[in-house]
Structure 1
Amino acid sequence: MRFSCFKNTVLFPIILGIVLVLISCAFKVKKGDVNNGKTQKHTSTSLITEVQSDTSVVVGANQTENYLPLLKGKRVGIVANQTSVVFKEGNSYTHIVDTLLSQNVDIKKVFSPEHGFRGNADAGELVKDGVDTKTQLPILSLHGKHRKPTLETLKDLDIVVFDIQDVGVRFYTYISTLHNVMEACAEANIPMLILDRPNPNGHYIDGPTLKIENQSFLGMHPIPLVHGMTVGEYAKMINGEKWLANGLQCKITVVPVKNYTHKTPYSLPIRPSPNLPNDKSIALYPSLGLFEGTNINAGRGTEFQFQRYGAPFLNPKTMTFSYTPQANFGAKYPKHRGELCYGEDLSNVEINDEMTLKWIIKAYENSTDKSKFFLTEGFTKHAGTAKLQKQIESGMSEANIKATWQKDLDTFKKIREKYLIYD
């Protein structure tokens, strides 16, 4: 309407042209921003400090309308850490505990897993009980004197909420905590509410399957090293396979993630633990995590945790990359602290959808003192089988080793199908 006065003048074509150019430029800028966002989502290796970028994926915690009715009028305990957040508009979030308190939910206590409620404790470090300075709620550690809630700590609760971000690897201990909480709740006849979150390594299944004689807190059940399940799906499997003591069943309600499948790329908005700082480290963790059962440093004590590996006894002629681990956030006593380590930088490698043995085999082959390499008990717990160390020591190729996993992987995939929530 505003351009009608220019219809019969020479200015109209000029002004119309300017308007069209401006619209075109605006469209190109917007399109470019969208493409950049997608690129960053899939390939970013920067520190995880931003909140959830893909707003189409709605985590369980954000669906308050689906679970607040289950908590109203109940005495609530919650298993949570720094990843237990509700995402907000405007690039922000609130902790699930603060969110529930604002809705007048009667939270009685918080149970914290490995790394603590705020996620700043070293791997394996004992976490003490305490009090949250913000809310004054008691915090009971599940990675200290007790790894399972006692009946005494549950007696004043009507329901327990579990909301922790996992990374889909068997020896990542949050799913062991899940088992212990489910078992305690089943024994106390208390229901659990599980607020599900995406699995960033949920798009494939790989690795050796745990043999039950090697059961530990680093692996409690006969599942592959990379299991391809969310916490909610895994909880269903624990119940369905009767893995709780005495065949008990825990009453669980899972709030699923919306707009999510196992093929959906998902960049974790918050470090799930101190030494998984970015997408690259999380993708490499299934492969480099095996170094935790050896004398090889896997980047702890640097800013590239699980993106490099090295040791003083690796051959510097073939392992030309070097670094010196130092005490830092999340690693007070890293392996080979203050020693020059020779190894390999993987921060720019392309990651296939698989767990690979090529780096641990290469490190073993280039070790100048192979007697120092394996920490046998620790390696067996991480691998879930004593066979893998023997296979590497014997010089078996990666392809031949992985072929020995296939039967167990096929069996697991059939079992897994029964408990899937997502395609």
Structure 2
Amino acid sequence: MRTFICAAITVLACITLQPARAASPVREQLASLADALTTARVGMITNPSGCDEQGVLDADILRREHGTNITAFFAPEHGIRGAQAPGASGSDSVDPETSIPVIAIYGKRTAPTPEQMAEIDALVFDMQDVGVRFYTFVWSMTYCMDAATSAGKPFYVVDRPNPIGGLVVEGSPNTTSGGLVGRLPDGAAFGVATRHGMTAGEFARWWNGEALGGRCDLHVIPMTDWHRADLWPANRKFVKPSPSIVSPATTLTYPGTCIFEGSNLSEGRGTEIPFEQAGAPFIKGDAWARVLNALDLPGVRFHATTFTSAGGKFRGQACGGVRIEVTDPETFRPVAMGLHMLKTAQTLYPDQVVVKSYAARLMGVENLHTRLATTTVDELVAEWQPRLEQFKKQRAKYLLYR
């Protein structure tokens, strides 16, 4: 018996001496957030990408492990569960999994109303951005920051990686306000570059400084495991922030291929690799790939392909086109690539390719839809360089990571 007791004590001692398992970086962020929201009624702007490294929804962690009192969800584009189509967030409802009210903030309403703000004590933004101006989530965040500032309520951002890195800044800063694809601070000469190189937390700091004069009671919960040179971290599960951003690879090409939303070419929606390929029924992929590869663009190769989309443009029709292979993310410049892709397609098929005004709005280039046929990509890039350099200097004071 004495031997058994001694052995048991030894085992218990070993168990006791084992170091406690460290919380993951995201859970450390959530613990900091929860500490700040102990007694608050919380409104949360989130979707399934607001999760920890394993894909567990942060809202569930806050409620179950910290007792955070989340009293309302605010649904951005694609809805609180990320299943709505582009341009939709669903109607006001009750979340069936939590019984928490869901209030749509994409469409007629872009932010909580004063009456809704009166029912909460703090707003929290927690979802994955993709580092591109025309991705709507950060603009929904800015509208909510405006509402929080007007109501005198604090605004928290659970910061997340920029999946395309924080070093490269590329593309034209917009000069006209595009709402949910690119607002301008009042009186500003320009907004942000197409590929802005900021995290959501840094973006919030930029909006607070440039648009709100620092009046927002802003609190960014920073990451401890991300640096500017990083892309998507290998230790994080990638949860689609929206239906067509399906993988980290999608985020690399999206800043360029989204331009096809402003044309009659398919950007690959409804296929397994949206935004990593483009085409149309009238395009011969081998000819387009040959012309694009002859440009010798850095960090990328093009492969002839065919695809049939289950949704979006040319649904059910066989499209010829190209598939994009990023060979070197560090030297790859997706914005310039997208312009080259659309221009070469227009040159090859001048009677069939249609470039719409929405392309100009997406890319922040005035009258791009009428100028692309007669202006080289190099000329377009040279035009926006002075503005881009101004933006880089402005942006520098809002950065949080090295």
* TM-score strictly above 0.5: yes
Work out whether 1:140 is the aligned partner of 2:118. no
User: CA 1:200/1:311 → structure 2, altered by over 3 Å: closer, same or farther?
Assistant: same
1:321 matched to which residue of 2?
305
2:272 matched to which residue of 1?
303
1:182 matched to which residue of 2?
145
User: CA 1:144/1:322 → structure 2, altered by over 3 Å: closer, same or farther?
Assistant: same
1:373 matched to which residue of 2?
354
1:164 matched to which residue of 2?
127
Say whether the 8 Å CA contact 1:205–1:354 is kept in structure 2. Answer: no
Residue 363 (structure 2) aligned to one of 371, 383, 402: 383
- Secondary structure of the residue aligned to 1:344 is strand
> How far apart are residue 322 of structure 1 and its match?
2.3
> How far apart are residue 144 of structure 1 and its match?
3.5
- Between 314-323 and 195-204, report the one with greater CA deviation: 314-323
Say whether the 8 Å CA contact 2:161–2:231 is kept in structure 1. Answer: no
- Between 277-286 and 318-327, report the one with greater CA deviation: 318-327
Q: Give 1:234's aligned amino acid.
A: F
> How far apart are residue 318 of structure 1 and its match?
2.0
2:195 matched to which residue of 1?
226
2:57 matched to which residue of 1?
95
Say whether the 8 Å CA contact 1:127–1:144 is kept in structure 2. Answer: no
Separation in structure 2 between the aligned mates of residue 339 and residue 310 of structure 1, nearest angstrom: 11
Residue 274 (structure 1) aligned to one of 209, 220, 243: 243
1:408 matched to which residue of 2?
387
1:343 matched to which residue of 2?
321
Work out whether 1:206 is the aligned partner of 2:170. yes
Say whether the 8 Å CA contact 1:208–1:405 is kept in structure 2. Answer: yes
Separation in structure 1 between the aligned mates of residue 115 and residue 95 of structure 2, nearest angstrom: 20
1:21 matched to which residue of 2?
none
Q: Give 1:58's aligned amino acid.
A: P
> How far apart are residue 316 of structure 1 and its match?
6.1
1:420 matched to which residue of 2?
399
Separation in structure 2 between the aligned mates of residue 281 and residue 358 of structure 1, nearest angstrom: 18
Say which structure, 1 or 2, has more relative contact order (CA 8 Å, 6+ apart): 1
User: CA 1:106/1:316 → structure 2, altered by over 3 Å: closer, same or farther?
Assistant: closer
1:232-268 deviations in Å (ceiling 9; x for gaps):
1111111111x24xx6721111111103221123246
1:347-383 deviations in Å (ceiling 9; x for gaps):
565543423222122222222525x51122x112211
Q: Could you tell me the TM-score, scaled by structure 1's length?
A: 0.78
Separation in structure 2 between the aligned mates of residue 83 and residue 345 of structure 1, nearest angstrom: 26
Work out whether 1:283 is the aligned partner of 2:252. yes
Structure 1 gap ranges (5+): 1-54, 328-333
Separation in structure 2 between the aligned mates of residue 66 and residue 126 of structure 1, nearest angstrom: 29
Q: Give 1:208's aligned amino acid.
A: S
User: CA 1:211/1:57 → structure 2, altered by over 3 Å: closer, same or farther?
Assistant: farther
> How far apart are residue 335 of structure 1 and its match?
0.9
Runs of 4+ in 1 over 6 A off after TM superposition: none
1:288-335 deviations in Å (ceiling 9; x for gaps):
0111111110111111101100112335672453222123xxxxxx01
Q: Give 1:415's aligned amino acid.
A: Q
Q: Could you tell me the TM-score, scaled by structure 2's length?
A: 0.82
Say whether the 8 Å CA contact 1:78–1:107 is kept in structure 2. Answer: yes
**Highest Rg: 1 or 2?**
1
1:364 matched to which residue of 2?
346
- Secondary structure of the residue aligned to 2:181 is coil
Q: Identity rate of aligned residues, in percent?
A: 31
Work out whether 1:66 is the aligned partner of 2:29. no
Q: Give 2:209's aligned amino acid.
A: G
> How far apart are residue 389 of structure 1 and its match?
3.0
Residue 158 (structure 2) aligned to one of 170, 183, 195: 195
Separation in structure 2 between the aligned mates of residue 365 and residue 66 of structure 1, nearest angstrom: 54
- Secondary structure of the residue aligned to 1:258 is coil
User: CA 1:363/1:62 → structure 2, altered by over 3 Å: closer, same or farther?
Assistant: farther
Separation in structure 1 between the aligned mates of residue 328 and residue 85 of structure 2, nearest angstrom: 28
5 Å matches for 1:215-254?
Answer: 215-221=178-184, 222-241=191-210, 243-244=211-212, 249-254=215-220
2:4 matched to which residue of 1?
none
Say whether the 8 Å CA contact 1:57–1:257 is kept in structure 2. Answer: no
Say whether the 8 Å CA contact 2:79–2:88 is kept in structure 1. Answer: no
User: CA 1:127/1:144 → structure 2, altered by over 3 Å: closer, same or farther?
Assistant: farther
Separation in structure 2 between the aligned mates of residue 348 and residue 417 of structure 1, nearest angstrom: 28
> How far apart are residue 194 of structure 1 and its match?
0.9
Say whether the 8 Å CA contact 2:121–2:153 is kept in structure 1. Answer: yes
- Secondary structure of the residue aligned to 1:229 is coil
Aligned residue-pair number: 351
Say whether the 8 Å CA contact 1:83–1:165 is kept in structure 2. Answer: yes
